[in-house]
Amino acid sequence: MTTAPKDPGAYGAMARTWLQQNLTGNLRTDRVHETPATLDELKAFEAAMHRAGLAGITWPKAYGGHGLTLREHLEANREIGLAPAPNAVNSIGKELAGPIIQAVGTEEQKLEYLPKILTMENVWCQGFSEPGAGSDLAALRTRADRTSDGWVVNGQKIWTSGASKSQRCLLLARTGVKEDRHKGLVLFAVPMDTPGIDTREIRSIEGHRHFCEVFFNDVVVDEANMLGAPDEGWSAATRVLSIERASNRMYRSWRFESELDHLITACRSDARTYAILQGYARDLAEVRIEIELLKGHVETLVEALLAGEEIGPSGSLPKLYWSEAHQKFARIAAEIVARFPTDAGQPLLDAKARMEAIYLASRAETIYAGTTEIQLDIIAKRILNLKKAA
């Protein structure tokens, strides 16, 4: 890793300037657009973010990254969060597959996969959950059998975000029987255009068709696409996952702050909505406190990672905290915008559309990446070490 810039905040200032110049038009999420940004436009923006140094910040230069530290990553993410920027199309590639490949991949795999994640040539999806293995991931049944041609995969995945638009799938499959639970699991980087893969979109409550079911029927996967040896890949991946659960979308608390800023600013554009806002001022102050405390979770984590500490089960703390804090904000925001007058002006209509979308999308936040109940179980069992029997 190279050393940090001498002037603290310089990296963030660079990111802010770049965003002010490049986050324009229909890329902005704080306005209703007649022509929403297309997938290609979003991918182009994300690739440009990488070239400007706003993505792949901590990845080694040899693999297309910028070779900096989590400190610069945090600085840039503060600015990304404060801006009304779209969520990354390739967050699975950048925040899940990429770090796992860096941890367990061969040198050839790193050179093959990693740069294309950052240039957006390869968008990745995550093939972990199954109809019978959601929160209970170890119950997964998708099988991988070794043959003379490599591996043959059969099974079904679900909740695979963005699968229909992805080039690669980070696939978790089983080499043994279901009863083996955490043993005999193997990780693959599967090209999504491999014959035998069938993708079906699922409409989610916001009306989007982002989620998918993915069916694998006698899909042949080359040995070269296996990440780590069976078992080994998964155990390394779980370590990466515990970090990712805690640190992905590091911009989150600043994004929540930005959403709150937007709501308040919009309400101040009309005396009638300002009067409504006043009635919620104390509730919003509580939300603002929670957003600030969430920054404490994030920054503590960054310091711990920089100090080389293990994250382990404590990654459940920020996940639980941010998901519930955001839902609380979203519920209040939805109630406020529902009271906007029928002849509301454009700034209010923009805010209303955004807050309604946030409200619906936030319902998923206490479900994905380990439900609230799973996080509470992890905290009780693995941090508090509470006994179940004497």
Partner 1 sequence: MFDDLDPKDFEETAREVMEACAATDDLAARASTLAEAGLLGVIAPEAVGGLGLPARFAVPILEAAGAGLLAFPLIEAMLLSEALAHAHPEMASALVSGETIATIAWLGTEADGIVAGAPRGEGAEHLLVFRADGSAVLTETAGLSAQLSDQLDTDFASATLRLAGPLTGLELSPDAVATLKDNAQILRAAFIAGSTASCLKQACDLAQDRVQFGRLLSSYQALRHRLARDLLALETMRMGVTRALSNPGEAAPMARRAAWLGAARMGPACAESAIQVFGGMGFTWEVPLHRHLRQMRTLAIQGQAAASVSALAETLISGSSNQWYEEVPDVV
Residue partners of 261: CB distance under 8 A and separation at least 6: 82
Q: Which residue, among 231, 230, 305, 235, has the nearest Cα to 70 in the 3D structure?
A: 305
| Positions 245 through 264 that interact with partner 1 (CB under 8 A) | 257-258, 260-262, 264
Told to judge if 244 belongs to the known catalytic residues of this protein, a careful annotator would answer: yes
Q: Of these residues, 244, 257, 259, 365, which one is catalytic?
A: 244
Residues 82-121 close enough to bind partner 1 by CB under 8 A: 82-84
Applying CB under 8 A, which part among 221-229, 232-240, 242-250, 288-296 lies near partner 1?
Answer: 288-296
Residues near 350 by beta carbon (within 8 Å), at least 6 away in sequence: 30, 31, 32, 266
Check binding of 307 to partner 1 (CB under 8 A).
no
The residue range among 45-53, 65-73, 111-119, 267-275 that interacts with partner 1, by the rule CB under 8 A, is 267-275
371 binds partner 1 (CB under 8 A): no
The binder of partner 1 chosen from 25, 265, 306, 309 (CB under 8 A): 265
Tell the smallest beta-carbon distance from residue 388 to partner 1 (Å): 4
- Lay out the site mask for partner 1 across 202-241 (x = CB under 8 A, - = otherwise): ----------------------------------------
* Whether 204 contacts 221, CB under 8 Å: no
**Residue closer to partner 1 (CB basis): 125 or 298:** 298
Among 112, 201, 222, 377, binds partner 1 (CB under 8 A): 377
Greatest Cα-to-Cα distance within the chain, rounded to the nearest angstrom: 73
- How many whole angstroms separate alpha carbon 173 and alpha carbon 233? 11
- Give least dist CB 248 to partner 1, A: 18
Cβ-count burial 197-228 (b if 16+ within 10 Å, e if not):
bebeeeebeeeeeebbbbbbeebebeeebbbb
Instruction: Determine if 347 is a binding residue for partner 1 (CB under 8 A).
Output: yes
Mark out the alpha helices in the chain (DSSP H runs): 10-22, 39-52, 70-82, 91-92, 98-104, 107-119, 232-247, 252-267, 271-279, 281-306, 316-338, 346-362, 372-378
| Interacting residues with partner 1 between 2 and 61 (CB under 8 A) | 8-9, 20, 30
- Among candidates 219, 255, 280, which has minimal Cα distance to 361? 255
- Residue 184 in contact with residue 239, Cβ under 8 Å? no
Choices 138-146, 150-158, 169-177, 296-304 (CB under 8 A): range interacting with partner 1: 296-304
Structure tokens at 341: 């007058």
Contact 113, 101 (CB under 8 A): yes
Task: Give the residue numbers marked as catalytic.
Answer: 244
Which positions touch partner 1 (CB under 8 A)?
8-9, 20, 30, 82-84, 257-258, 260-262, 264-271, 274, 277-278, 281-282, 284-286, 288-290, 292-293, 295-297, 299-300, 314, 317, 320-321, 347, 373, 375-377, 379-381, 383-384, 386-390
